A and B are shown apart, each in its own frame.
Chain A
Amino acid sequence: MIELKGVWKQYGDRVALHPLNLVVRPGETVALVGPNGAGKSTVLRILAGTVHASGGAATAGHHRAYLPQRLGVPDSTLVADLAELVAAARSLPLDLMHQALIATGLAERARARLSELSGGQRQRVMLALATAGEVGGGALLLDEPSISLDVEGAEDVREAIEGARRRGAAVLFASHHLHDVACLAQRIVLLVAGQVVAEGSLPELAAAAGVPWSAGITDPPIERVYRVLVGRSRAHSQMRVA
């Protein structure tokens, strides 16, 4: 389970994230959306432990997997070495990592360097390693998981995320790809300037934004929902400043 209780973050004088309360239960997928600088990555980084919160309590359990936007792993790294490292860190047998790679159809690339994989293959490998073994009760934290992927690559990533959710993982991901959000998220949290301005399922947000919505059509309406809500929030904050 993922839980944030009054978590906030300040960089110098700038508040990047205002106190945030959020719970993601096992088997649930929640999406963080919002413009650049809204605080989406900060939330994920705090949960992953790479950034310290200025206050509040954040927990993503011991069995958490985090996929940042930029891996920061040298391109010369072998897939097999990375698999061994993740297995050791998560106390999993190496065989499980191999099985996860087989499931993605990339087992034969185990001796390949990351630089030899396409963007989609690389993301599939990272997701396979992150979701290998028992993920039930664990947390999956993903920052822009389908960034710079083609349609097939993005589809693979969506399948991997949905698969992890079905196996009981609590999934929290940030994305600018609203189609991914509409397809995957049971709940959407809209952040603007570090504050939650809307939260709920897609139909709830559509109703709040006054945008007609029908199940089955996910792509164009969600973008309208997003634009209306962000625009409204910005207009509101401008009014407050004025």
Chain B
Amino acid sequence: MTKALLRFELAAARNGRTAPLFAAGFALASIAIALVGLAAGGTIAVQGFARTSISLLQLVLWVVPLLALLTGAAAGAECYELEYVAALPGTRSRLVISRWAAWLIALGAALLVGLGGAGIVIAIFAGTADAWTYLGLLVVAALLLSACLSVGLALGIWARSRARALALAIVAWCVLLVGIDLAAIGLLAILPAGTATWPLSLLLLLDPLDAARALGLGLFQATAIAGPTGAALRAVMGGWGALFLVVGLVAWTVVPLRLAARTLGRRDL
């Protein structure tokens, strides 16, 4: 049943324009970043994987959550229109999970095509040194995609209407992008020096985007630019921090998904 539902949802996701546009956009942006990264030094050449990955991380942190939240929110609100499918025996919670999985596969494949295409160009022109950091970036992007899709779906199911769901998704994106950082800065200002590290580390759990940023920068050992929460995490947990962040991102996938399935199961369509 779940397989058939996933196939059904995947066909719907595949037939839309979102995934191909996302793939093309990401490929172009990645190649452009790889090319222009050295332009400041007066050179136009393809830069290597390590430098490109750091530049691309910022793009991933902005674009992936926005797209995933919007797509998830629209897919969540759409659940109320799927009366025929929802009335099939035992499908409500499976419908939510299948929608999430289908969009994760569709957008994940688009991400892979986009970043993979750019990766091939980089490998040809700049060599394969530090290619693993690029792969690491893909994993971080996939974890972030999964978490934000789940949050988007929960918001869409909670909102019911498509317009309200999309508006909520944009608000959520803004909060995740800057809201938690502002809270971290506020905490730093309020708490006595030296006592903020634990609360700041825990703040990472409240923001999948910040968690992905800290995880991504950890890949490149770029602690200096990991932000206040990322630096605090490193101080508190050392090498275990990465695992803590991965668990946090997985929780951001599982918890909203369960809430979404429960909400849809209790509501009238």
Contacts and interface: CB of A to CB of B under 8 A. Distances in A.
Interface of A: 45, 48-52, 62, 64, 66-68, 70-74, 76-78, 81-82, 84-90, 126
A71 B83 contact: yes
Contacts of B140: none
Contacts of A73: 82, 84-85
A5 to B, nearest CB: 20
B89 A71 contact: no
Contacts of B3: 88
Contact of B269 (A51, A71, A84, A86): A51
16 contacts: A45-B83, A45-B268, A49-B87, A50-B86, A68-B83, A70-B83, A72-B83, A73-B85, A81-B7, A85-B88, A86-B88, A88-B3, A88-B5, A89-B91, A90-B88, A126-B84
A74 B79 CA distance: 12
Given A50-B268, A51-B269, A85 B5 contact: yes
A72 B89 contact: no
B164 to A, nearest CB: 18
Given A70-B83, A71-B83, A77-B11, A52 B88 contact: no
Interface residues of B, number: 23
A62 B84 contact: no
Contacts of A82: 8
B42 interface: no
B81 interface: yes
A60 B1 CA distance: 21
B11 A78 contact: yes
Contacts of A74: 12, 15
A89 B82 contact: no
Q: Which of A48, A86, A88 has the most CB of B within 10 A?
A: A88
Contact of B4 (A45, A50, A89): A89
Contact of A76 (B4, B12, B269): B12
B4 A90 contact: no
A48 B269 CA distance: 11
Contacts of A51: 268-269
Contacts of A85: 4-5, 7-8, 85, 88
A77 B12 contact: yes
Given A72-B81, A76-B15, A66 B8 contact: no
Prevailing SS type, chain B contact patch: helix
Nearest to B94: A89
A89 B89 contact: yes
Interface of B: 1, 3-5, 7-8, 11-12, 15, 81-91, 266, 268-269
Q: Which of A64, A74, A82 has the most CB of B within 10 A?
A: A74
Contact of B83 (A50, A76, A84): A50
B4 A87 contact: yes
A8 B4 CA distance: 34
A84 B11 contact: no
Contacts of B82: 72-73
A73 B15 CA distance: 13
Nearest to B80: A72
Given A71-B84, A85-B4, A89-B90, A50 B11 contact: no
Closest 5 CB pairs of A and B: A88-B4, A89-B88, A76-B15, A72-B81, A50-B269
Nearest to A53: B268
Contacts of B269: 45, 50-51
A196 to B, nearest CB: 22
Contact of A88 (B1, B11, B86): B1
Contacts of A52: 266, 268
A48 B84 CA distance: 9
Nearest to B79: A72
A45 B269 CA distance: 9
Contacts of A66: 83-84, 87
A85 B84 CA distance: 11
A81 B1 contact: no
B22 to A, nearest CB: 18
Nearest to B89: A89
Contact of A77 (B8, B83, B88, B90): B8
A127 B88 CA distance: 14
B1 A72 contact: no
Contacts of A84: 4, 7-8
B6 to A, nearest CB: 10
B78 to A, nearest CB: 8
